[in-house]
Structure formats: C-alpha cells, structure tokens
Structure 1
Amino acid sequence: MSQHTLSGPNLRNRYFDSLCAEKGLIWMGQNTNHIPAHPAVEEAMVASIRAGEFNAYAPPLGFESLRAAIVADLAVPGEAMVTEGGVNALAMAVRARCRPGTTFVTTDPTWKWPGLMAAQMGAEVIELPIWDPATHYRLTPGQLAASVDHRTALIYIVDPNNPLGISYSRDEIAAFCEIARGAGALLIHDCTYRDFAEDHTPALRIDPENAVCSTSFSKWLGLAGMRIGALVVPPRLVEEFAPFSASILGASVVAQRGAEAGLRVKPEWMAEVRRINRANQEMIRQAVEAAPGLSMVVWPSQANFLCIDTTASGIRPEALVEAYRLRGVMIRQGTYHTRRFGDRFIKVSTTVPEDWGRRFVALLPEAMEAARGLNDVAAQF
C-alpha cells in the first residue's frame, strides 16, 4: 500500500516507520540527542537488563532515588512523578484540570500536543501569537494577562520555546506566575530544553504552590526511545494528579536506571553536549547567512535546535524537508508546530555528531535547488 492511499494514524505511522527503517538516516528534526551515550548510562541500563529488573513493574511514581534526583537537579521544592516520557507528564496535568467550560492558554508557535489534549478534554484552547520580531518572538506578560480569566485552568509555557529557541528571564517567569495565581489557574512550565539555556529559572522556584514543571530525558540525555520523563509538582497535587497518570504501572525500569545514571554524570556530560551543540549551531548559522533567502529567526538559540526562516527564498518548507529526506537527512517543517506560521520556517536539531552538522551544511545549496522543483510532496508529520 502506498503512502498516498493511507490516511489518518496509519499514514503518520507509516511515515515514521519508513524513517526508522532507513539505515544511516541523519536525525535532525525531532530535537533528539544523537551524541553517543555516556558509558555510565549504557552500563546502568545493561546492568538492569542483566539483573532481570525488567521482569517486574516499577513503582507507580518512579523509584524513590530517581524522584529525589530529579527534584535535586531542578533545585526546586516539590515532588517528582516519573512518567513514560515528558508527554505523559503533560497529559496527566491536562487530564486532571481541563474540562468543558475551561480554557487552556498557550503560545503560537509552541509544542502542539498539550493543546490538542486539552481540546480532547473539552477545554477551549487559546493560542497567543508570538511570531513577532517587535517582541523578540516571546510572550509578554501584558499579552498573557489580557487572555486569562476565571475560566482558565492551565497556562502552558514551553521554555526555551520549541520551535523558536527563545528563553524567558526570571522576571518574566515571575510575572507569568503572578498572572496564573491571580486567575486561579495552574502554570505548567515545560522545562524540556532548560539545560541548553544560558540562564533558566523553573517556575516552581518562584511559586512552589501554583506551578508545575515538566522534564524529559529525551533531549539532554538522549533517551527518547526509552520514554522517560517527569512532572514535578507541589506535594498537595500528587494525590490529585496521580489518578490521571497513564503510567500507573510505572515507567520503564531500564529507562529509570539510565536516567538516574545520567543525572549522576550530568555536569561532565552536558559540558560536552553543549560544546557540540554550540559548534553545530554556529556552523549552520554561517551556512544559512550565506544562503539566498534564508535567515535565522532567533539567534542565539537557547535550545538544541534552530528555527530557520525560508520566506524570502520562495521555497516551501515542506519541499526543503523532502529534499533533505531524499538525501538521508530528516529535518522538520514549520506546520508540525503551527498552522498560522508554519509556512515560514524549518527547524533543524543540533545535538548530533558534528559530522552530521557538516553534512547538513554541505547539502544546503543542493537541497534548496532541488526543493524549487518539488511540487508533489507527500504528507509530513
């Protein structure tokens, strides 16, 4: 069956299955970390497998040692609820709070899935546009305050923002916390990319009673396929949120052992990851500036990806994505994140081996030329 005869979930699954089946594919579209793992992390997971730990379920909130390590890493008050990936952490909060008659307020662009989950729960999703150089592509406290009221259940902030790469200051996070508290809403601070920011303040550090922070081990540690994340919450919310967790039998035992090992070696590991990330970003920036019609949206990026504006080139983002795919490189089109602004940009991940970054740069002129002639591009996700 061809891709064009499929629809819905099967089409999306076939798309990613074909990517996974492509040997040697360069993954630069999902913000995942493909830098070879730290030996201590591999050893911890292998040791767990050899010990047969995977034969039993993990504790429903995660191993106590990992829960404590996550909270210590964030340096916030609260309790960690370990989940099968950061997406399940966010889903738990959405399911607990969103109902018909409530609103879920977020930005546009953002990471789209929590908003879709909120809509499924019957909430009205309010997307605040931030694609604006006048505000440096960021949400302002005034814009947020004008869009929340007594109906607002959740305010969802991805910081650093995916896909833009901007990060908010402590004062901005404090203002968002105050607005949420005044409206009786809960602030969800998605901290997935915080380890790449020059400075980052988790909202729980400012408001330990009315904020939650989601974390992931997919981006900084490279455990995307292991599915491990957490929601860090005020202690009073554990009992409220736990019934809405999809991870009632615990997250992967093997993944938890790898995550805990990663936290133990995090300072040395992240020093090298950040070095490679910065080197790849600078190399790509130079190539983009030399490419007619392309430009950086945000520089420097505070995350492990770059948002590249294609508007002036006359090239559709989807066509450029397809041109790279045909050459063994996966990048992402803007419409994955936003319907309103998606025709303006591509996103390129940079926590990858440096030779992958060089490959992307070397292919850029050829891929742009090929993209101009691509009119029939299959569905992308």
Structure 2
Amino acid sequence: MTQHINPQLAATLPPPVMEARRWIDGVTFPADRPLLNLSQAAPADPPPPPLRQAMADIVLTDTSAHLYGPVLGIPELRARVAADWSTAYGGEISSDQVAITSGCNQAFTAAVATLAAKGDNMILPTPYYFNHKMWLDMEGVEARLLETGPDLLPDAEAAAALIDAGTRAIVLVSPNNPGGVEYPAETLSAFRDLCRSRGIALIVDETYRDFDARTGAPHDLFADPDWDDTLIQLYSFSKAYRLTGHRVGAICAAPARLAEVEKWLDTVTICPNGLGQRAALWGMENLFDWLAGERQEILRRRAAMDAGFDGLSDWSVLGCGAYFAYVAHPFDTPSDVVAQTLVKSASLLLLPGTMFGPTRDLGGSGRAEATLRIAYANADVDGIATLFDRLAEVTAKGL
C-alpha cells in the first residue's frame, strides 16, 4: 500500500541544485575540458586557516560549544550583530531585535512561519530565489509573482496592484539571487513605505551584502527609528566566512516577532549550531580585513564577467553583481534544454531561468526560457576566461 504524501510537498519542484547535479551523473568529461561547475552560489573553499584554527581551539576548549544553547542564539553573537549593523546602517538595532538561525534559509522559513498561514499570499519578484518559492509552496502560501523590468528591478507601484486582504509580506533579495542586481536605496524605501501603508511586512534578504560593489550603507531602512514595525532583515554568515556547512544565519525583527520565531525554532532545531555561531563571532571580531579582500576578489571576478560578455555580442547581460550573472542566451531553445546541453557540449554546469520563474505555459513572460544564471563566485579569473572560451565556441557552432 502506498502511504500518503503531503500534496503541497509533492507538488513542490525538486531542489534545483540537486537536479542540476544529476545532469552530470555518469558524464565523462574530456581531460582537456574538465567540468566547470558554476551552478551553486556557495564558496568552494573552506574557512580561512586562522578561522579553522580558532574553530579547532573552540572544539577543544569551549565545552559550551557542544551543548544546547539559547534558541535565539548565543548572546555574544546577537549583541555583535546588533552593534555592527547599527554602525554599518546608521541606525539603532538592539540585541533583542536579533536572532541567530541555522542558515539564512531557516531565517526565511521562520519569518514566514510568524506571518502567514495556508491560503495567505506573499509577493515575490521574478526571477525569484527558488528556495523562497519552494517554502511558500510547501506551506500552502501563494507566491504572488511580480514581474521585474528589463533591469531586473521591482517596482513598488506594480507591487501595490498585487496586494489584497490575504497579502502578508513582500520579499526582496539584494544583492539579488539570481539576478545579481543591487537594489537602489530608493527602491527599498519605496517598498518599505508601501508595506507600512498596507500593514504588511517587508522581508529583505541581504545574504550577499558583504559583496555589494557600493561603498557605505546600501539603504537607510534601519535609520528609521520605527524600522521593526515593517522590516524583517535576513543575513547569512555562510558567504562572508565560508561557513556553509555550519549553517549560521540571522534575522533582525521586532522582539515580539522574535518571540514567535523562538517557538518555531525550538521545535525545528532547538538551537543554532554552537561551533558555527562561535566561528561567526570570531570572524566578525578578527577577519574584517580578510573579508574586505574577499569582496575585492569578487569585484575582480565581476569585472571579468562584464568584460567577457562585452566580447559576446549574441549574449545579453540582464544583471551582474555579488555572486551572479543573469544572462539571456542566443539560442532558439528553452533554457532548461540549453543548460543540459551545455554540460556535454561545453563541460559547463549552469542553472536555467526556468528554475527561477514561471514558463510561458504557467503565465510567465518568456524570460525564464531565455535566461541562465552563472554563479561566477565559484571560478577565479582564469576560470572565467575558460567560461568565455567555451561560450564563444558553442555560440559559434551552435548547440
């Protein structure tokens, strides 16, 4: 007898990165053309040696790192986030407005748990981060899709037309995944004002904020003394300190909302990873210059991407920044077919736009079939040069 499966979970698309990995199962790549994997937006290297040494010392000497800790995170890390964010954004953030989570994905799911019930809706600009859409689908919360412009920027006035009595939040990601676009401060302010006027939340995922090309605060949302009546900010330590496997994220929100987050987290993970939290704190205390160097390296790779596409006139760059380039391919073939074909024809693993937005048959504009995401943070400048050599070759001869 077949056991019942939650229909909302069954209807949710499979994890895109895992799906893409299956495309390379059993494929033999030529010795002179090894696979260049630009599919996943995560550091390919472990934490830097000083941080790994600090983590080893913590494992050996800090008994508390191995035990249950506070559900909302260790006080020292919450306080450090509050202090650093207050300085960086020119606002006032207190430690009781900060919670630590098991990665930024969990920060998002916890925020949604406090906001929406089955049958409610949230607004996601397209192209969207697929895990955001997947979680809403699993929870029976409608993802109400907001088409962005040619520059991949969402428009608050267009979003206003999608809001109804069941709308609970608008979700923005900046710098954007998958688009790479850095949202202007005035765009974020316009969405904050819209959300406040309609009594809904504004969720801003800033996972990639450490690699923003702009200097200074990317927005002034925290400068508003009443920021927590509307704003919920999400963050990831995974990208900044290469702590992907240790799962450490953060959520900034009103203390009353975090009290609800605490209920949810206590039933899911009980507490964030003790070693990961202490590693994140050590990184914040000791790796400022190292992180600045990491940002400069990402900016060099971004410049290499821009230069490379300047030489590929058949391709169009819709957005490029942080870890990503989001590009329109020149082939008269849907992007999911293009991406799978590139595995064998060019030894490239990229993600298709169909993983980040609806296809035409589902009401999409056609952008999903025409685009690819390139996670260039996983390749150095030489690797990016190899990428363009292969794209030029496949463009010239066709798929």
TM range, smaller chain = 0.7 to 0.9
Q: Secondary structure of 2:377's match? A: coil
> Residues 21-77 of structure 1: CA distance to partner in whole angstroms, max 9, x if unpaired?
999864422221235633332222222333475642332211111112222332251
Match of 1:160 among 172, 175, 199: 175
Q: Does 1:187 align with 2:202?
A: yes
Q: Residues 323 and 168 of structure 1: is their aligned pair in 2 closer, same or farther, counting only changes over 3 Å? A: same
Percent identity for Structure 1 against Structure 2 = 21
- TM-superposed CA distance for 1:362, in Å, is 3.2
Amino acid across the alignment from 2:298: N
Amino acid across the alignment from 1:38: P
Match of 1:343 among 358, 361, 369: 369
- TM-superposed CA distance for 1:240, in Å, is 1.9
Gaps of 5+ in 1: 1-6, 374-381
- TM-superposed CA distance for 1:185, in Å, is 0.8
Q: Secondary structure of 1:351's match? A: helix
Q: Secondary structure of 2:180's match? A: coil
Match of 1:226 in 2: 246
**How many Å separate the matches in 2 of 1:18 and 1:261?**
38
Answer whether contact 2:315 2:327 (CA < 8 A) is retained: yes
Match of 1:356 among 383, 387, 390: 383
> Residues 70-110 of structure 1: CA distance to partner in whole angstroms, max 9, x if unpaired?
22332251422111111111001112211134221121112
Q: Does 1:251 align with 2:272?
A: yes
**How many Å separate the matches in 2 of 1:120 and 1:166?**
27
Match of 2:116 in 1: 98
Alignment of 1:15-164 (within 5 A): 16=21, 26-34=36-44, 37-51=47-61, 53=63, 55-75=66-86, 76-78=92-94, 79-130=97-148, 132-133=149-150, 136-164=151-179
Q: Residues 68 and 94 of structure 1: is their aligned pair in 2 closer, same or farther, counting only changes over 3 Å? A: same
Q: Residues 251 and 330 of structure 1: is their aligned pair in 2 closer, same or farther, counting only changes over 3 Å? A: farther
**How many Å separate the matches in 1 of 2:137 and 2:334?**
29
> Residues 123-171 of structure 1: CA distance to partner in whole angstroms, max 9, x if unpaired?
33211100x22xx321122112222233221211112221122222322
- TM-superposed CA distance for 1:286, in Å, is 2.2
Q: Does 1:216 align with 2:232?
A: no
Amino acid across the alignment from 1:217: F
Q: Secondary structure of 2:299's match? A: helix
Q: Secondary structure of 2:123's match? A: strand
Gaps of 5+ in 2: 1-11, 87-91, 359-363
Amino acid across the alignment from 1:356: G
Match of 2:318 in 1: 297
**How many Å separate the matches in 1 of 2:113 and 2:162?**
21
- TM-superposed CA distance for 1:190, in Å, is 0.8
**How many Å separate the matches in 2 of 1:178 and 1:12?**
35
Answer whether contact 1:83 1:228 (CA < 8 A) is retained: yes
**How many Å separate the matches in 2 of 1:193 and 1:11?**
20
Q: Residues 258 and 323 of structure 1: is their aligned pair in 2 closer, same or farther, counting only changes over 3 Å? A: farther
Answer whether contact 1:273 1:351 (CA < 8 A) is retained: no
- TM-superposed CA distance for 1:247, in Å, is 4.7
Which has the higher mean CA deviation after the structures are superposed, 51-60 or 246-255? 51-60
Amino acid across the alignment from 2:238: S
Q: Residues 100 and 292 of structure 1: is their aligned pair in 2 closer, same or farther, counting only changes over 3 Å? A: same
Answer whether contact 2:206 2:233 (CA < 8 A) is retained: yes
Alignment of 1:169-188 (within 5 A): 169-188=184-203
Amino acid across the alignment from 1:363: R
**How many Å separate the matches in 1 of 2:313 and 2:19?**
34
Q: Secondary structure of 2:114's match? A: helix
**How many Å separate the matches in 2 of 1:192 and 1:21?**
33
**How many Å separate the matches in 2 of 1:41 and 1:18?**
35
Match of 2:300 in 1: 279
Amino acid across the alignment from 1:42: R
Q: Secondary structure of 2:43's match? A: coil
Answer whether contact 2:301 2:384 (CA < 8 A) is retained: yes
**How many Å separate the matches in 2 of 1:306 and 1:273?**
18
Which has the higher mean CA deviation after the structures are superposed, 64-73 or 326-335? 326-335
CA RMSD in angstroms comes to 3.1
Answer whether contact 1:29 1:348 (CA < 8 A) is retained: yes
Match of 1:270 among 272, 281, 291: 291
Q: Residues 218 and 26 of structure 1: is their aligned pair in 2 closer, same or farther, counting only changes over 3 Å? A: farther
